[in-house]
Amino acid sequence: MRVGVISFPGSNCDDDTLNALAALGVEGVPLWYQQTELPPVDRLILPGGFSYGDYLRSGALAAQAPIMASVEQAIATQAMPVLGICNGFQILCERGLLPGALRPNVSGEFLCTWETLRVVSVPQGFVGLKTGDLLRMPIAHHEGAFAVEPGFLSTLFDQGQVFLQYSDPDGQVHALTNPNGSVANIAGISQGSVTGLMPHPERAMAQYLGSVDGRRFLKAWLGEEDQ
Amino acid sequence: MTFDLIVNVAWKEEILDPAGQSTTKVLQQMGYAVDNVRIGKQIRLQVEAQDQDRALEAGREMAKRLLANPVMETYTVQVVEA
Amino acid sequence: MTFDLIVNVAWKEEILDPAGQSTTKVLQQMGYAVDNVRIGKQIRLQVEAQDQDRALEAGREMAKRLLANPVMETYTVQVVEA
Amino acid sequence: MTYEEVGLTAEEFTHICDQMGRVPNDLELGLFGVLWSEHCSYKSSKNLLAWLPHDGPAVVQGPGENAGVVQLDDKVHVAFKVESHNHPSYVEPVQGAATGVGGILRDIVAMGARPVALADSLRFGTDDPSQHLQHAVVEGVGAYGNAIGIPTVTGEVGYGAVYDKNPLVNVMAVGLLPAQRKISARGARPGSYLLLVGQPTGRDGIHGASLLASQDFGEGTEHMRPTVQVGDPFMGKLLMEATLAAVETGLLDAVQDLGAAGLTSAIAELVYRSQVGAQVWLDDVPCREPHMTPYEIMLSETQERMLLIVAPHHLEAIEAIMNHWELPHRVIGEVTEEPLLVIGTRDNPRQAVLPPEILAGACPLKPVPANGRDKGRQLVPSMPAFKPLTLEREWGLNVLGAPECKSRAPIYQRYDSMILTNTVWGPDHPLAVLRVKDSTAGLAIAVRGPGRYAALDPYSGGMAAVARVISLLATQGAQPLGLTDGINAGNPDREDVFQDLMALLAGIADASQALGVPVTGGNVSLHNETSGHPIWPTAVIGAVGRHSCPLEPVPDAPMAAGMDILWVGP
Ligand SMILES: Nc1ncnc2c1ncn2[C@@H]1O[C@H](COP(=O)(O)OP(=O)(O)O)[C@@H](O)[C@H]1O
């Protein structure tokens, strides 16, 4: 299994993501945003960070990067599994590869905290996760409030595209467990082979870092049952 | 020819603007009789084009493709008269 | 009476605008003949005042005290005609 | 231009003329003005800093470079230092704090080290504007650290009315480098190029060092506000990656970051330390604004710039790295054999001709009385008699309502404390514990600055600052490797302020000596004083220690009810 990790100028979780893949025994292939063709890879990750300094809107400038055309094509023609983490999620939304958009947090501030996430619908290709599962992973973002066009929210739920919601440690989803003002507490969504989430699985790879649920998450995405 | 364009980008009305809300609050605390502060962007740029119409056309395209996000924002484009 | 005000806030010319710089570069990569993108704010708000002059006056005061940072930014205030 | 306009005294001007054997021209005078400013020359504090112990078994690089370096183990070294950005943060809190973070990170990178952690020490006043200031400063620290991708893993904050108009923003950065790497500002060889990399130069922050940071605030200083420097963490990230990649090739002679006093300070320090000279071509410096004068180009404090010294036959390889990271870069001069700093244009190549040892090495230092350190020790102020307190409800509520007692979560949650995935203990603990991926040992990082203590008794306060960080490391059984000191005080020309400074430094020196922990670098910020009111003498001490089992820190709270509490110490 070869997983391409795309670095944009300003990406800063690319190394953490490559380390996480290595810890899972998976070969990570660093890719640079100016490449116009994808090398042979089985999957792609758009890692977190501040591509282009988050200028204009988070992810907006990177969404126009040369490599994104090939990403788009790989999704359309080979149903390439693509995972966007944090800034990667923002880029995928800005490119129109995932529905919706990410607005500034309701506090207007950057926020770095541990959150509990409840699985709503399991996206295509994820193995070993089921509805109602809880995952503990950190968030660290300024523009992470998920928004959709009016009237579109129920469609997202109906089509099983809502992947993760911010919840309390018991899996209850309510306003007090919403860290950033996301509509319906949404933390992650999917569309076909494309998945995006604001939390950082690559930071939850060991108990001493706070949680091993990121390991579980990435294994599920890679299609491996976690033992 | 070079044209100066202004692209104004605003949140759609139904989109929450937290920065605007907290600014409203602070201004009210400062004693101003204000309400509904909404904070958008004003982007100024220079574009090379044959004539004003084409400059505007390019401006609209850039706004649509990059400068505004149609999910949450609206925009207007105008040419600054020299 | 309620007046709609627009406060445009721009970086002073000599102040570095990194967001504008990066946006310029990406627009050029996308093939547009643009330069000098500068990203400022456009703030819209409603103010209660006896007449238009006082509304403008209040707007200028708010711009000076809060909405713009005089160390780095300039501003203009205008009333939106109904 | 007169010597007063550039912030020099009559004696200093005479000294310059004597040393040079002539009267400097306007450009030269301007350069002296900044380099002989308090901020760049440390003229009031250098003799005090000499008391600090600098040597220890773990020390690789003591003071005098961009940052200190200590040994974590055979393979990994640690570069670390604290910097202040107090005045800029008062003028424009978001950008002031942000550029402070950017500046200290470039110091670490200039040592060839990859930054892994930040720690911030903040002081604010107690009036209403101070609350906004705190909000904006935290925004700025986060804006830079978060975006460039270096976690802020610990910090502290304190309050006092003396900081109303003089908030303190001290930031410590810690980086790692392989043991065999040796790069500094010392290695420039004749014939090599000065390659200026990063943001094109604008009129930002001109006079930031000489005037803003080296004089007291007051009614009369309004007009001196330089153009605010805006931080660009995005370019900062590219610059960091490109510089580290260039260092890794082993092809560079030397690296020097651009900070206060911009090109002037960077080039003067570089040629002085390397014992060479340089010819600088002003027409080759990429400028952001038209018609910049030589003076403006040399003094601009535009952020996100780095000076790389590279031999001509390696230039292509280094430029390829800069091109990959899409960084503007340009050769702006050449290192010369003769120890003279020559600045000019192709039309007029010798507009300033200055010996580096005068410019960077001959500023007269404020003398310290021979018994100064003893006097500092004896300066025990008369304390008000201790009034025993009865625990009253009112009193309790007052204490609990004080800003000192508020949760710090609203501050540190605005910082990314986890990126790079090394943070085993972050800001929800009294000190930070980091794993180091290339070592079994980890890092313990603590920062403290007891200002109120030092205000009452500067000597004991200095000792306490050291003792606090060392005891924090001790709670983890971590071996202290070195200290960095951020000294913040008022106008040193005032007798009382200087007395306090002497006592403060005597305390720090005595404590670090007694505990056997060297101070490998630091920063001094004086003139923190508005309309005659100085701040408390505030020594922010940062400590770096070796943690032998970083994946299992010693828990900091009792494990269970019924456990014994053991009191250690007097
Ligand atoms: N400015 C800051 N930046 C980052 N972390 C901070 C800051 N101020 C406080 N903290 C974190 O919050 C913790 C609690 O703060 P405080 O109550 O002042 O600590 P302590 O009681 O340990 O002196 C500190 O140990 C520190 O890790």
Helix, strand, coil distribution of chain A in percent, nearest 5: 30, 30, 45
Q: Would the CB of D426 count as within 6 Å of ligand 1? A: no
Helix orientation angle between D128-148 and D233-248, rounded to the nearest 10 degrees = 40
Cα D238 to Cα D321: distance, rounded to the nearest angstrom: 11
β-strands C2-11, B73-80 pairing: unpaired
CA-nearest residue to B13 within chain A is A150
> DSSP label at D286?
-
3-state SS of A108-165 is: CCCEEEEEEEEECCCCCCCCCCCCCCEEEEEEEECCCEEECCCCCHHHHHHCCCEEEE
Q: Is C28 on the interface with A (CB under 8 A)?
A: no
Answer yes or no: do A147 and B71 touch at CB < 8 A: yes
Six token digits for residue C27 = 């627009």
Q: Would the CB of D406 count as within 6 Å of ligand 1? A: no
Cα A93 to Cα A84: distance, rounded to the nearest angstrom: 9
Listed residue (A197, A139, A199) closest to D413, CA to CA: A139
Residue A63 lies in a domain: yes
Read off the CATH number of the domain in which A200 is found.
3.40.50.880
Six token digits for residue C56 = 């403008």
The minimum-distance atom of ligand 1 relative to the CA of D448 is 23
Residue D541 is which amino acid?
I
Cα D148 to Cα A96: distance, rounded to the nearest angstrom: 26
B43 bridge partner residues: B7, C39
Residue A133, Ramachandran bin (φ over 0: left; ψ between -120 and 50: alpha; else beta): beta
Radius of gyration (C-alpha) of chain B in whole angstroms: 16
Q: Chains meeting B at 3+ CB pairs closer than 8 A?
A: A, C
Tell me which residue range forms the domain holding A153: 2-222
Cα C62 to Cα B11: distance, rounded to the nearest angstrom: 21
**pLDDT attached to residue D390:** 76
Q: Would the CB of D157 count as within 6 Å of ligand 1? A: yes
Mean pLDDT of D417-424: 98
Q: Where are the alpha helices (DSSP H) in C1-82?
A: 18-29, 52-62
CA A186 vs CA A161, A221, D95, D164, D371: distances in Å: 10, 19, 33, 42, 67
Listed residue (D61, D55, D314, D53) closest to D179, CA to CA: D61
Six token digits for residue D447 = 């920062």
- H or E element, residue D385: none
Domains and CATH numbers, chain C: 2-80 (3.30.1280.10)
| Band of pLDDT at residue D225, cut at 50, 70 and 90 | low
Answer yes or no: do C16 and D225 touch at CB < 8 A: no
Q: Which residue among the candidates A13, A86, A94, A115 is catalytic per the annotation? A: A86
Cα D518 to Cα D509: distance, rounded to the nearest angstrom: 9
Q: Counting Cβ atoms within 10 Å, is residue B48 exposed (0-12), middle (13-18) or buried (19+)?
A: middle
Q: Would the CB of D469 count as within 6 Å of ligand 1? A: no
Contact D361, D316 (CB under 8 A): no
**pLDDT attached to residue D228:** 78
Q: Would the CB of D120 count as within 6 Å of ligand 1? A: yes
The CB density around residue D488, as the number of other CB atoms within 10 Å, is 29
Looking at the predicted structure, is the pLDDT value of residue D214 above 70? Answer: no
Which residues of chain B neighbour A56 with C-beta distances below 8 Å? Answer: 66-67
Using CB atoms, pick whichever of A56, A64, A66 lies closest to residue C19.
A56
Which residue's structure tokens are 């370019």?
D235
Which residues of chain A neighbour D237 with C-beta distances below 8 Å? Answer: 9-10, 12, 50, 53
- Is D527 assigned a catalytic role? no
Which residue's structure tokens are 């709503």?
A120
Answer yes or no: do B34 and C24 touch at CB < 8 A: no
Rounded to a whole number of angstroms, the distance from the CA of C19 to the nearest CA of chain A is: 5
| Band of pLDDT at residue D213, cut at 50, 70 and 90 | low
Using the CB atoms, write b or e for A175-213: b if 16+ within 10 Å: eebbbbbbbbbbbbbbbbbbbbbbbbbbbbbbebbbbbb
Provide the domain count of chain A. 1
Which residues of chain C neighbour A142 with C-beta distances below 8 Å? Answer: none
Q: Is A218 on the interface with B (CB under 8 A)?
A: no
Q: Is B50 on the interface with C (CB under 8 A)?
A: no
Cα C24 to Cα C18: distance, rounded to the nearest angstrom: 10
Residue A68 lies in a domain: yes
Q: Would the CB of D416 count as within 6 Å of ligand 1? A: no
Distance between Cα D404 and ligand 1 center (Å): 10
Contact D475, D396 (CB under 8 A): no
Rounded to a whole number of angstroms, the distance from the CA of C53 to the nearest CA of chain A is: 33
**pLDDT attached to residue D206:** 80
> DSSP label at D544?
E
Q: What is the pLDDT of residues D271-285, one digit of tens each?
A: 999 999 999 999 999
Cα D422 to Cα D445: distance, rounded to the nearest angstrom: 13
Looking at the predicted structure, is the pLDDT value of residue D211 above 90? Answer: no
Looking at the predicted structure, is the pLDDT value of residue D219 above 70? Answer: no
Q: Would the CB of D510 count as within 6 Å of ligand 1? A: no
Answer yes or no: do C16 and D91 touch at CB < 8 A: no
Beta strands of chain A (E only): which ranges?
Answer: 2-7, 27-32, 43-46, 82-85, 101-103, 111-119, 134-141, 145-147, 162-167, 186-191, 194-197
Contacts of B14 by beta carbon, 8 Å cutoff, 6+ apart:
A150
Using CB atoms, pick whichever of D91, D92, D204 lies closest to residue C16.
D204
Contact A145, A115 (CB under 8 A): no
Answer yes or no: do A12 and D237 touch at CB < 8 A: yes
**pLDDT attached to residue A210:** 96
Using CB atoms, pick whichever of A49, A52, A203 lies closest to residue D421.
A203
pLDDT tens track, chain C, 82 positions: 999 999 999 999 888 999 999 999 999 999 999 999 999 999 999 999 999 999 999 999 999 999 998 888 999 999 997 6
Query: CA end-to-end span of chain C, whole Å?
Result: 12
Rounded to a whole number of angstroms, the distance from the CA of C49 to the nearest CA of chain B is: 8
Q: What is the pLDDT of residues D165-180, one digit of tens each?
A: 999 999 999 999 999 9
Cα D194 to Cα D568: distance, rounded to the nearest angstrom: 56
Q: Would the CB of D33 count as within 6 Å of ligand 1? A: no
Cα A136 to chain centroid, rounded? 14
Distance between Cα C42 and ligand 1 center (Å): 37
- Is A141 assigned a catalytic role? no
Q: Which residue among the candidates D15, D54, D77, D85 is catalytic per the annotation? A: D85
Cα B4 to Cα A66: distance, rounded to the nearest angstrom: 28
Contact D405, D503 (CB under 8 A): no
Which residues of chain D neighbour A90 with C-beta distances below 8 Å? Answer: none
The CB density around residue A66, as the number of other CB atoms within 10 Å, is 13
Contact A164, A199 (CB under 8 A): yes
Which of residues D228 and D515 earns the better pLDDT score?
A: D515
- Is A13 assigned a catalytic role? no
Looking at the predicted structure, is the pLDDT value of residue D224 above 60? Answer: no
pTM for this predicted structure: 0.94
B71 bridge partner residues: none
**pLDDT attached to residue D212:** 56
**What mean pLDDT, rounded, does chain D reach?**
92
Six token digits for residue D142 = 């986060």
Distance between Cα D427 and ligand 1 center (Å): 6
Q: Is B18 on the interface with C (CB under 8 A)?
A: no
Looking at the predicted structure, is the pLDDT value of residue D378 above 90? Answer: no
Helix orientation angle between D315-324 and D233-248, rounded to the nearest 10 degrees = 150
pLDDT tens track, chain A, 227 positions: 999 999 999 999 999 999 999 999 999 999 999 999 999 999 999 999 999 999 999 999 999 999 999 999 999 999 999 999 999 999 999 999 999 999 999 999 999 999 999 999 999 999 999 999 999 999 999 999 999 988 899 999 999 999 999 999 999 999 999 999 999 999 999 999 999 999 999 999 999 999 999 999 999 999 986 55
Q: Would the CB of D430 count as within 6 Å of ligand 1? A: yes
Residue A227 lies in a domain: no
Which residues of chain A neighbour C26 with C-beta distances below 8 Å? Answer: 52, 61, 64
Candidates D154, D408, D433, D452: which one to mutate for ligand 1, based on the most atoms within 8 Å of Cβ?
D408
| Band of pLDDT at residue D557, cut at 50, 70 and 90 | confident
**pLDDT attached to residue D208:** 64
Percent over 70 (pLDDT), chain D: 95
| Band of pLDDT at residue D215, cut at 50, 70 and 90 | low
Q: What is the pLDDT of residues D118-127, one digit of tens each?
A: 999 999 999 9
CA A221 vs CA A45, A139, A213, A214, D217: distances in Å: 11, 19, 12, 10, 58
Beta strands of D179-226 (E only): which ranges?
Answer: 193-198
CA C22 vs CA A54, B75, C8, D165: distances in Å: 10, 20, 21, 35
Residues in chain C: 82
A/B interface, count of CB pairs below 8 Å: 34
Cα D282 to Cα D381: distance, rounded to the nearest angstrom: 54
Which of residues D316 and D371 earns the better pLDDT score?
A: D316
Residue A140 lies in a domain: yes
